[in-house]
A and B are shown apart, each in its own frame.
Chain A
Amino acid sequence: MPPESWSLYSLMLQSRLFEEAIAQLWHDGLISGEMHLGTGEEAIIAGVVAHVREGDAMALDHRGTAALLMRGVDPVLILRELLGRPDGLCGGMGGHMHLFSKEHLAASSGIVGAAGPTAAGFGLAAQYLHPGAFAVAFFGEGAMNQGMLMESMNLASAWNLPVVFVCKDDDWAITTQSERMTGGDLNERARGLGVPAVEVDGLDVIEVWEASHAAIERARSGQGPTFLHARCVHFEGHFLGLQLLRLVRDPLREMPGIALPLTRSFVHPGGAAVGDRVAGLKEVVAAVLSTLRDPRRDSTNDPVQRARETLLSDPGRLLELEERIEEEMDEVLASALAEARS
């Protein structure tokens, strides 16, 4: 067992507990708009961010909370930001999709694919200002169809930029299954742009850590960009309250509101022939069935549990670590919430 296992598990558990608390705040109505959690992708984030140090930069997507937490940004500040408080990380102006930390060179964006050009620019600046530093871009597989990300990979290749492109692939672009909207193979696509591609198990934090170590060393030593493709699951789907997940989790409550208009429309005169209507209905049903069969419902796909199992050989140390992290997270919550609730 590599020595990093303990620290990586620690990062992942912190993030999991933190985001579970955020989910509760969202359900309590203390967070108003959308909320995209990273629960399920912790192994990818931890495996990469553990290598990030002073001078390195991070380009984050709309799901950047975990990366910032693991990078060492004060969790109380993050939480206060999510609560929209003036003493939050960005003064309540950004919120979870637009978290910025200048001192950590970390910038988020809610625009899909925007992490590509951002990481390329951070990498370019590193070449001039911090030789030996690198930039990471985190994005989902849906972003792989966004032009600006493809252009950035080409730019990074042509300019030999110190960038690691990390694709967190859960095969869902909100309610669309990405494989149905994606031509070819993602790794081949990266290679076609001159960026070496590495396939890793996104549920195995040690594997991600090792693969990203190699990719980051390549970047630091001037050998250019790498594409890391890591599969994962998002337990809460694209965002909290995702309609497809609600439908599967609580069909009695959710079904009538969807099924009645659907049926009325299916039998409505005027429109396509029956065959086309059935094909349409099949598409809707397929999305629901895919959600039902979804790997996110399978606890063996939980990267935090996976990492924990490798540490069971030392139960005393494990228990002590978990108690300490839980206490720390409780303190973070108490500190951020004490004034917020008052």
Chain B
Amino acid sequence: MRTMFFTQAVDDALAQAMAEDPRIILFGEDVPLLRRDLLVRFGPRRVRGTPISESAFLGAGVAAAMAGLRPVVELYMVDFLGVCMDALLNHAAKAEAFSGGRWTASVVVRAPCGGGYGDGGQHEQSLWGWLAHIPGLTVLVPSTPADAGGLMLAALQHDGPVIFLEHKLLSETWLEFLGSGARRTVRYDVPAEGARGAVPRKWEPEPIGTAALRRDGGDVTIVSVGVGVHRALEAAQALETEGVSAGVLDLRTVFPLDKTAVCEAVSQTGRLVVVDEDYEGFGLSGELAAVVLEAGISCRYARVCTQTTIPYARHLEDQILPNRERICAAARRLMR
């Protein structure tokens, strides 16, 4: 085993795959600097910068994938998908269906997501629910370095478009690049277990659509993804001191959803708390309620999500994003 930071693990898995598969190429804005370690190993033909033309280069990535390449297209932030959503919504997601299952667009879209460092509502969104809503897109949201590398490898082997979201609060390089690199005066609430951890010596693909039980608990099941998993674990620890046994299930993949794991856990506890940094309405948290209802499971339900536009002010942001206190309060409500 080795120890790696989160983004280091993604890049390491990417390098392993690139060494084995010459069809993998990498492009996006500032990629030559952001992925400089890959650039000097694989050369400028495989690691390229782009103009600020997301519609063009993401759309090109989709078609290049259809023509046989394995492009990894990087967006600066998932929020910026707003300017080029057509490439995913109407093209990447549709190729397989429109061709009668004969053609897929196996592109990997890699984008930082998430908040907690004070950039405001146009740069800190999660949006995985918005993406998973569209049939044909696979959406991955790892919460540890080991999962990040393993899921990146799986994404590169997947037959179809995959969105790979990298939470900025877990990413040593994004936080350094955006806010903390030039100063020691800011603090971000970085979950240590997610930012750095053990990874395998050789990467193996982590199966897509398989949740991981991070903590056993008999009273209440907390289901989450990304940084939310770590907030849930903090909450579970706090709840334990109150005599509440909370389990934490890390979905790891938003679509396809591991319905079996969710139903198994919830049917044991009879209580489901969804922790979702994405928007509350019409998203993952409601989807999980539907999953247990459709399975005929009777349970009590609560959710801790982002309900509004993410505020710029850090103290407001900390209240809006799911945090330990809100998760504990939700679990306590279900215990009453």
Task: Give the interface of A toward B (CB within 8 A).
Answer: 26-29, 31-34, 81, 84-86, 90, 92-95, 97-98, 109-113, 142-143, 145-148, 173-176, 178, 180-182, 239-241, 243-244, 246, 258, 261-262, 264-266, 268, 270-273, 275-277, 279-281, 283-284, 287
Chain B residues, CB < 8 A from A143:
52
Q: Which 10 A-B pairs have the closest CB atoms?
A: A276-B43, A29-B185, A32-B118, A241-B182, A84-B313, A95-B312, A270-B19, A92-B313, A33-B118, A145-B51
Q: Does B42 sit at the interface, judged by CB under 8 A?
A: yes
Chain A residues, CB < 8 A from B18:
271
Chain B residues, CB < 8 A from A90:
312
Q: What distance in Å separates the Cβ of A20 from its nearest Cβ neighbour in chain B?
A: 16
**B316 adjacent to A283 (CB under 8 Å):** no
Q: Does B33 sit at the interface, judged by CB under 8 A?
A: yes
**A271 adjacent to B19 (CB under 8 Å):** yes
Q: What distance in Å separates the Cβ of A199 from its nearest Cβ neighbour in chain B?
A: 21
Q: Report the nearest A residue to B82, measured CB to CB.
A: A111
**B38 adjacent to A265 (CB under 8 Å):** yes
**A284 adjacent to B33 (CB under 8 Å):** yes
Please, what's the 1-or-0 string for B164-188, where 1 marks a CB less than 8 Å from any CB in chain A?
0000000000001111011101111
Q: What distance in Å separates the Cβ of A226 from its nearest Cβ neighbour in chain B?
A: 23
State A85–B315 Cα separation when bound (angstroms): 9
Query: Would you mind naming 30 contact pairs between A and B with Cβ atoms under 8 Å apart?
Result: A27-B182, A27-B185, A28-B185, A32-B179, A32-B314, A33-B118, A84-B312, A90-B312, A92-B316, A93-B313, A95-B120, A98-B312, A111-B80, A142-B51, A145-B52, A146-B54, A147-B56, A174-B30, A176-B30, A241-B182, A243-B181, A244-B33, A262-B37, A265-B37, A268-B41, A270-B20, A270-B41, A271-B43, A277-B41, A279-B44
Q: What distance in Å separates the Cβ of A159 from its nearest Cβ neighbour in chain B?
A: 22
Chain B residues, CB < 8 A from A34:
119, 123, 178-179
Q: Report the nearest A residue to B309, measured CB to CB.
A: A93
**Residues of B within 8 Å of A, CB-based: how many?**
58
**A283 adjacent to B122 (CB under 8 Å):** no
Q: Report the nearest B residue to A241, measured CB to CB.
A: B182
Pick from B33, B46, B182, B309: contact of A272, CB under 8 Å? B46
Q: What distance in Å separates the Cβ of B172 from its nearest Cβ neighbour in chain A?
A: 11
Q: Report the nearest B residue to A279, measured CB to CB.
A: B44
Chain A residues, CB < 8 A from B56:
147
**B55 adjacent to A147 (CB under 8 Å):** yes
**A84 adjacent to B53 (CB under 8 Å):** no
Chain A residues, CB < 8 A from B29:
173-174, 176
Q: What distance in Å separates the Cβ of B27 from its nearest Cβ neighbour in chain A?
A: 11
Q: What distance in Å separates the Cβ of A111 from its nearest Cβ neighbour in chain B?
A: 6
State A81–B118 Cα separation when bound (angstroms): 12
Q: Does B36 sit at the interface, judged by CB under 8 A?
A: yes
Chain B residues, CB < 8 A from A181:
49-52
Q: Report the nearest B residue to A266, measured CB to CB.
A: B40
Chain A residues, CB < 8 A from B118:
31-33, 84, 95
State A142–B18 Cα separation when bound (angstroms): 30
Q: Does B228 sit at the interface, judged by CB under 8 A?
A: no
State A161–B104 Cα separation when bound (angstroms): 43
Pick from A93, A94, A113, A243: contact of B83, CB under 8 Å? A113
Q: Does B291 sit at the interface, judged by CB under 8 A?
A: no
**A175 adjacent to B52 (CB under 8 Å):** no
State A63–B155 Cα separation when bound (angstroms): 36
Q: What distance in Å separates the Cβ of B307 from its nearest Cβ neighbour in chain A?
A: 14
Chain A residues, CB < 8 A from B49:
176, 180-181
Please, what's the 1-or-0 string for B15-30, where 1 marks a CB less than 8 Å from any CB in chain A?
1001110000000011
State A268–B185 Cα separation when bound (angstroms): 36
**B44 adjacent to A283 (CB under 8 Å):** yes
Q: Report the nearest B residue to A273, measured CB to CB.
A: B43
Q: Report the nearest A residue to B8, measured CB to CB.
A: A261
State A94–B187 Cα separation when bound (angstroms): 20
Q: What distance in Å separates the Cβ of A214 from its nearest Cβ neighbour in chain B?
A: 29
State A71–B47 Cα separation when bound (angstroms): 43
State A143–B51 Cα separation when bound (angstroms): 9
**A241 adjacent to B186 (CB under 8 Å):** no
Q: Does B311 sit at the interface, judged by CB under 8 A?
A: yes
**B311 adjacent to A93 (CB under 8 Å):** yes
State A237–B120 Cα separation when bound (angstroms): 21
Q: Does B102 sit at the interface, judged by CB under 8 A?
A: no
**A94 adjacent to B120 (CB under 8 Å):** yes
**A271 adjacent to B41 (CB under 8 Å):** yes
Pick from B32, B41, B79, B311: contact of A283, CB under 8 Å? B32
Chain B residues, CB < 8 A from A145:
51-53
State A174–B49 Cα separation when bound (angstroms): 12
**A84 adjacent to B316 (CB under 8 Å):** yes
Q: Does B45 sit at the interface, judged by CB under 8 A?
A: yes
Q: B91-110: which have CB < 8 Å to A?
A: none
Chain B residues, CB < 8 A from A280:
39-44, 47
If A97-B120, A240-B182 touch, whether A92 touches B312 (CB-CB below 8 Å) is: yes
Q: Does B121 sit at the interface, judged by CB under 8 A?
A: yes
Pick from B177, B183, B316: contact of A29, CB under 8 Å? B183
Chain B residues, CB < 8 A from A86:
313
Q: Does B279 sit at the interface, judged by CB under 8 A?
A: no
